[in-house]
Structure 1
Amino acid sequence: MPETKVWVLQDPRAGTAAQALGIAEALAEPFRAIPLGWSGLAALPLPWPSLWGLDAATRAQFAPPWPRLVISAGRRAAPAARWLRARGARTVHCMRPGPGAADFDLLVLPRHDDPAPAGNLLPILGATHRLTAGKLAEARGAFPALGALPGPRIALLLGALPAEAATRIGQQARALGGSVLATTSRRTSPEAASALAAALEGHPHSLFRWGDAGPNPFLGLLAHADAIIVSADSISMASEALVTGAAVFLADPGGLGPRHRAFADSLVTAGEARWLGPEAALFTRAGRNETTRVAEAIRERGLV
């Protein structure tokens, strides 16, 4: 097998995989992605470096030449990353790894998890992702109709929420600007999507319901937005919104747990977002890409 100096252990969950893949892409080094399949032992908090949590097909892909750097995310991938470290690889891991946190050369954890200080720790706002300024530029050209809507254009990104919250947030989005560029997600119920549509009726807008025909305009919404409203239950969407230079507002969908509220408060405390409310007004901010910052830290530490 030819040598590839960077391996990405790719979790089957898209959001978790994106955290590791985004870092590898930001490094701009050739990398090999290994899709992970789990064995029945994967759910156990394996305390030692091991491939026991992987199924046989995945274990067969672990063969020399070994990588110089392994990037992983999620607790189940951590024992395999530690196993590769025992064979000389340097390791970068996103999210809490369970046992063996000190084994990683760089541990990337969100500030809202309140991690204890450590020499291998890099706290970040939110989560790493695959969004880049280049992808936003491409999306701006791919969705010109969104740019033709009157400004200020308010992108509205909804996750899971009740219909009454969708109505409230839709009305607040209308009050902020000349048009609303809205999308639901796979977690948005049909009832909430219909409530949002009713709230936007009569106001210039574009609404993409999850599952609609045609390309998903998510990146186009971010690219053309003067402000972005994200329901605070979605850490990934809010983290991606930070890349833009648009004002970012966090909408409370109701029922936020302590972790999601801590996440939202971490963005507000850092001056990167504000809570959406009746008195909300547009503000200016610079874009922030935490994935790029992680890639820079990897190079500064000589891990690749």
Structure 2
Amino acid sequence: MMAAAERVWVLADPRAGTAAQALGIAERLGVPFRTLPLEWGPLARLPLPFPTLAGLSAPARAGIAPPWPRLAVSAGRRSGPVALWLGRRGVRTVHCMRCPGAAGFDLNVVGRHDGPPRAANALPILGAAHRISPARLAAAREEFADLGGLPGPRVALLVGGPVRAEGMAPGVARDLGARVAGFAGSVLATASRRTGAAATEALAAALAALPHRLHRWGSPGANPLLGFMAWADALVVTGDSVSMLSEALVTQAPVFVAPTGAEGRRHLALHESLYAAGQARPLAAAPAPFARPPIDEVGRICAEIRARGLLG
């Protein structure tokens, strides 16, 4: 009999944002799961629209061995062939994002901005799957209760950076900080790995005259991101981060998208999908508040997994 810990496998892509999509689903299913870190070999660069482990490094291939789980959760083009290979061995598969061979998954979760296929196994969602849940936000509101003492409106400023570049331009960060400082009572700002040190310091200078908290990437101690989100009266998120924009939708606050000039076609399509759904507005519309219901797409994914009997 399969051990409880082997009931679900997460095929974790080395890219944190991609892995978070699969991890977020597994965590919300509420059953024990095992994370298999994937490491790619040279063939992973090729489109592999069939079940195979050929894209994995030799050590990673050695880690894919029976007993097989009931369900495998994966995300990203490169992990798709691995999930399909497991599917050939009786494993049920849930895959996030489009990839070749998607018809072979039991459930294919695809953001509306990526043009989900018209297929029985496709589940279109707004944004992307992630690891933020309503319960985690509620716990963070208690953990970071001191943030409630900051003057309102409290604006959470979530700053990313170019996906394939060396940090955000300091001028962009400075202008963004000044724009938000112009309508906030206080700012709860967090920089990411992609922001870069120079842009982070430019942001800090722009916020200096206003009550604020700024979390620099790599700072010691707990990351207050969830606390910032839980206590925000409004959220401003840079348009270059699919993950942060998707996570912001779990809150009840208005969400504003800040352009940085580093957005690609997929990012712009995501923005338009959020605007069309009434879930976000461009930063140019701030600070005018607007009502939006929080959405929990990961919870909906998990409900669909159970409804289709993929957990057994």
Which stretch of the first structure deviates more once superposed, 279-288 or 123-132? 279-288
SS at match of 1:157: strand
Is residue 160 of structure 2 the alignment partner of residue 159 of structure 1? yes
The Cα shift of 1:78 comes to: 1.0
Using structure 2 for the length normalisation, give the TM-score. Answer: 0.92
**Segment of structure 1 superposing worse, 71-80 or 280-289:** 280-289
Identify the residue that residue 130 of structure 1 maps to in structure 2. 131
Residue 13 of structure 1: aligned partner: 15
Runs of 4+ in 1 over 6 A off after TM superposition: none
Equivalent position of 2:192 in the other structure: 185
Matched residue, 1:225: 232
Which residue pairs with 1:36 in the alignment? 38
Q: Which runs of 5+ in 2 are unaligned?
A: 162-167
SS of match in other structure, 2:79 = helix
Of all paired residues, the percent bearing the same amino acid is 57
Aligned to 2:165: none
Does structure 2 retain, via aligned residues, the 8 Å contact 1:71–1:92? Answer: yes
Residue aligning to 1:172: 179
Q: What is aligned with 2:309? A: 302
Q: Which amino acid aligns with 1:61?
A: G
- Tell me, in whole angstroms, the C-alpha distance in 2 between the residues paired with 1:137 and 1:221: 12
- How far off its partner does 1:171 sit? 2.4
Change (3 A) 1:278 1:303: closer
Deviation at 1:115, TM superposition (A): 2.6
Structure 1 residues 198 and 41: CA distance shift in structure 2, 3 A: same
Report the Cα distance in structure 1 between the residues aligned to 2:67 and 2:286, rounded to whole angstroms.
Answer: 59
8 Å Cα contact 1:172/1:277 also seen in 2? no
Count of aligned positions = 303
Residue 61 of structure 1: CA displacement? Answer: 2.5
Q: Distance in 2 between matches of 1:293 and 1:176?
A: 35
Shift of 1:2: 4.2
SS of 1:112's equivalent in the other structure is helix
Q: TM-score of the superposition, structure 1-length normalised? A: 0.94
Q: Could you tell me which of 24, 27, 33 is aligned with 2:26?
A: 24
In structure 2, the residue corresponding to 1:42 is in which secondary structure? Answer: helix
* Amino acid across the alignment from 1:178: G
**What letter corresponds to residue 261 of structure 1 in structure 2?**
L
Give me the whole-angstrom Cα distance separating, in 2, the residues matched to 1:23 and 1:73. 10
What's the counterpart of residue 117 of structure 1?
118
Q: What letter corresponds to residue 51 of structure 1 in structure 2? A: L
Q: Bigger CA drift: 33-42 or 70-79? A: 33-42
Q: Is contact 1:75–1:95 with CA below 8 Å preserved after alignment? A: yes
Secondary structure (helix, strand or coil) at the match of 1:228 reads strand
Q: In the aligned structure 2, how far is the partner of 1:157 from the partner of 1:262?
A: 20
Inter-partner Cα distance in structure 1 for 2:192 and 2:300: 28
What is the CA deviation profile of residues 246-289 of structure 1, one whole-angstrom value per residue up to 9, with x for unaligned ones?
A: 11110011242221111111111110111111653122222112
Relative to structure 1, is the Cα distance of residues 92 and 205 closer, same or farther in structure 2, using a 3 angstrom cutoff?
same
Return 117-126 or 187-196, whichever deviates more.
Answer: 187-196
- Unaligned segments of structure 1, at least 5 residues: none
Q: CA contact under 8 A between 2:2 and 2:69: conserved in structure 1?
A: no
The separation in 1 between residues aligned to 2:173 and 2:48, in whole angstroms, is: 42
1:2-59 deviation per Cα after TM superposition (whole angstroms, max 9, x unaligned): 4322211111111111100111111112212111122222222223211122223222
8 Å contact kept, 2:252–2:294 = yes
CA displacement, residues 145-189 of structure 1 (integer Å, 9 cap, x when unaligned): 322111121000111232232233222212333111111111113
